[in-house]
């Protein structure tokens, strides 16, 4: 594959962001302040994820539950990402309930949404698989300043300097918020949804306050299977090699195909140190 020229990455508050975030056009301060000042509706759902944790998947499950449909949303999910939309007032015309997704840390979420205790769905994924998924994304899409090998990417991850900040700080911050404001955030795990989609989608429906039949839940699980989404969803990177990067593999444990024994040991040491006060129960299968 032809190598891409690196592009400069915008920064704000010590964190770098992908080049498609409209920092250059609007100014970083304005983009982030607009998110924090965003006027929330009671019915808004924020889908909060660190990158590559299953955002597109979660988005489709939520929209199917809320809209009582099994149709995948048309097109690329780009008009719901808080930091990706240049002009947030464009969301004024989106009918309720709106699903708004973001990879920004909890402290940058819309203040009103938090004050009103509106719902937040948070998906966590084994960070080793997140790292591998991120690596593939970075290779195909020049949204971060990366042009290297797996080992280079692994080092970048370990340095905590990837876009949106370190996985650890993201997850620890949202875990703390979940403790501080009980009932507002629903945390689910990529691996659980993959292994028991019907059970997990039912739990999500309960959190969202959506009543639906067992048949509908089963249909949503089928419609949002990796195979169906990979086949039917348009992925902008299909222009690169026909495969895209959003619906790449959709598996648990792909990290084992990339991490060396030494990298895995080093990762575990960092993970155990950073997460020593966390109660997150992750699956490292």
Ligand X SMILES: Nc1ncnc2c1ncn2[C@@H]1O[C@H](COP(=O)(O)OS(=O)(=O)O)[C@@H](OP(=O)(O)O)[C@H]1O
Return the bridge partners of 34, or none: none
Burial class (CB in 10 A: 0-12, 13-18, 19+), 73: middle
In whole angstroms, give the CA distance from residue 96 to residue 64.
14
Give the nearer residue to ligand X in terms of CB position, either 72 or 116.
72
Give the nearer residue to ligand X in terms of CB position, either 112 or 145.
145
In whole angstroms, the minimum distance from the beta carbon of 52 to ligand X comes to 4
Extract the tokens encoding 149. Answer: 């090998």
DSSP for 31-91 reads HHHHHHT----TT-EEEEE-TTSSHHHHHHHHHHHHHT--PPPSS-S-SSBTTT-S-GGGG
The footprint of ligand X (CB under 6 A) covers: 49, 51-57, 129, 133, 136-137, 194, 224-226, 229, 246-250, 254
Give the nearer residue to ligand X in terms of CB position, either 89 or 195.
195
Give the nearer residue to ligand X in terms of CB position, either 168 or 226.
226
Residues 6+ apart with CB under 8 A from 46: 82, 100, 101, 102, 109, 110, 113, 118, 119, 120, 121
In whole angstroms, the minimum distance from the beta carbon of 263 to ligand X comes to 17
In whole angstroms, the minimum distance from the beta carbon of 182 to ligand X comes to 26
In whole angstroms, the minimum distance from the beta carbon of 83 to ligand X comes to 12
Catalytic residue positions, numbered: 103
């Amino acid at each position: 594959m032809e190598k891409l020229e690196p592009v400069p990455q915008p920064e704000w508050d010590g964190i770098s962001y992908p080049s498609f975030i409209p920092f250059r056009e609007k100014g970083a301060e304005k983009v982030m302040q607009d998110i924090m000042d965003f006027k929330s509706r009671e019915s808004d759902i924020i889908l909060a994820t660190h990158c590559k944790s299953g955002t597109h998947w979660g988005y489709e499950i939520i929209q199917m539950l809320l809209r009582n449909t099994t149709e995948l949303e048309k097109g690329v999910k780009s008009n719901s990402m808080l930091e990706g939309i240049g002009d947030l007032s464009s969301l004024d015309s989106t009918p309720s309930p709106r699903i708004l997704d973001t990879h920004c840390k909890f402290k940058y979420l819309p203040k009103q949404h938090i004050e009103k205790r509106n719902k937040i769905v948070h998906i966590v994924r084994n960070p080793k698989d997140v790292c591998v998924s991120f690596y593939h994304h970075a290779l195909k899409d020049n949204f971060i300043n990366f042009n290297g090998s797996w080992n280079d990417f692994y080092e970048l991850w370990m340095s905590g300097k990837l876009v949106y900040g370190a996985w650890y700080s993201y997850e620890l911050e949202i875990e703390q918020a979940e403790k501080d404001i009980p009932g507002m955030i629903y945390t689910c795990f990529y691996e659980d949804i993959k292994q028991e989609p019907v059970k997990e989608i039912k739990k999500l429906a309960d959190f969202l306050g959506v009543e639906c039949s067992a048949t509908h839940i089963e249909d949503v699980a089928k419609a949002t299977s990796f195979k169906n989404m990979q086949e039917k969803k348009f992925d902008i990177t299909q222009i690169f090699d026909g495969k895209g990067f959003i619906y790449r593999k959709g598996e648990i444990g792909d990290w084992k195909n990339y991490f060396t024994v030494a990298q895995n040991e080093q990762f575990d040491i960092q993970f155990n140190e950073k997460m020593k006060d966390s109660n997150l129960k992750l699956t490292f299968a």
